Structure 1
Amino acid sequence: MFAHGFGCDQNMWRLFAPSFAERYQTILFDLVGAGDSDLTAYDRVKYSSLHGYAADVLEIVDEFATGPVIYVGHSVSAMIGMLAAIKHPCRFAANVMIAPSPFFINDRPYEGGFTRADIDEMLRTLESNYLGWSSAMAPPIMGAPNGPELGEELTNSFCRTNPEIAKHFARVTFLADHRADLVQVTTPTLIVQSDDDVLAPVGVGHYMHARMPTSTLAIVKNVGHCPHLTAPGPSRQATEAFLDNLGL
């Protein structure tokens, strides 16, 4: 089961998911408010926290899965999957977190990558000029060395998202703090971390790994926050090795 990150849609898995479809039933979907989802289903109260999205994940599992799922989530969706697995661990055989972060804000000794002032300024810019924010932020998120095409693709993906929904989801995403939930995880979990990520520094991966007793940390050589797109080979290999070790 593949879940995309902020401002993206299920197409972002096109270089990662197909190899798994040969051996698994695969489920791809768009978060409510993204991609081709039904925008009328967006409820600002329900989605005022990541728990609303976690409830959707559990509904999809109930509807389409024939047994415990291997959940693969990118960025904020990694945390959404974690919350779903904490609530109903029996429905998850494993979680794979691609570039996750439980909290984006520095809170010493925790280093999330941004000060609160940084996040507040980013959200103000997003509120006042969403398209400008998208154009400015997409290239560093994707990783400049990976070429302008992928940066443009992410920009276009951001711009296809309903601006009002994107602004709300951004606030929920970048202000969420799920550090205290890490110790509740019982599902075997792989953390795939880029060695150079502007949104999720390497220290975040080590922090999560130290607090999740069932976790494995794989650091891949990659610049940017989307290793499933910019380093799909190493990310797949880390995932394959993790699943093989679990007998899955």
Structure 2
Amino acid sequence: MLIDSHCHLNFPDLMNRLPEVLDNMAANDVRQALAISVSRDTYTQVQALADAHEHIFCTVGVHPDEENAAEFLAEEMIAIAQAQPKVVGIGETGLDYHWCKGDLTWQHDRFRAHIQAANATKLPLIIHTRDAGHDTLDVLRAEKAHGGVIHCFTEDVAFARGALDLGFYISFSGIVTFKNAQQIQEAAKFVPQDRILVETDAPFLAPVPKRGKTNEPAYVKHTAEFLAQLRGETFAEVEQYSCDNFYRLFDQVPRIDKAFI
């Protein structure tokens, strides 16, 4: 079995065909998925998905990309997480210097609010970082972030080492299967078995051989198969340790031993 540790099931490309998406998950033995919150306005959508499906869980948070997005105060995220058992993480949050330029004080403030909420609730942070690796690690250190996952890893071995030293897990998406992803592949060989998760970031970044198509949780199988080949492991090994790691990090998610259809 596999778990998709990061997807956006409420986005129209998936939500509009949700029964098919869930059926495809079951057919590929992807037994659970984490639906990620990216805005205050759409948080209720991921919460509703999690409430409606036993094998779907969710997070609360605001993505770092949009400066004028409605914010969650740290206190609000704490209250939601404490009241909603299907909320098992905080984010996604982080820093993005690729899409966002200029004075990014607002982005750092948003990041810190999420770290404060995660520290208070002891829930894992889901970290988005792009072209901001050094500052991301600096903020995590300064705020004494208690742990979480670097999602959709796109950095190098040095960054991976820094994140691991802070107690974070590393999640690999379909990008690791791309031909031009040598830096990410080197990091994927470096990260120890007990810190790796797999994800889709669906509906984005479909892995080879589905590249260019709308991504969906079922396709996490292709990423896991690629990692097994890259790291010289069996597919069964990747299945086992990626699920074990997910349950260790997201310890409010119950283990399951059956597929949901």
The two structures share one fold, judged by TM-score above 0.5:
no
Higher fraction of helix:
1
Name the TM-score, length of structure 2 as normaliser.
0.39
Name the TM-score, length of structure 1 as normaliser.
0.41
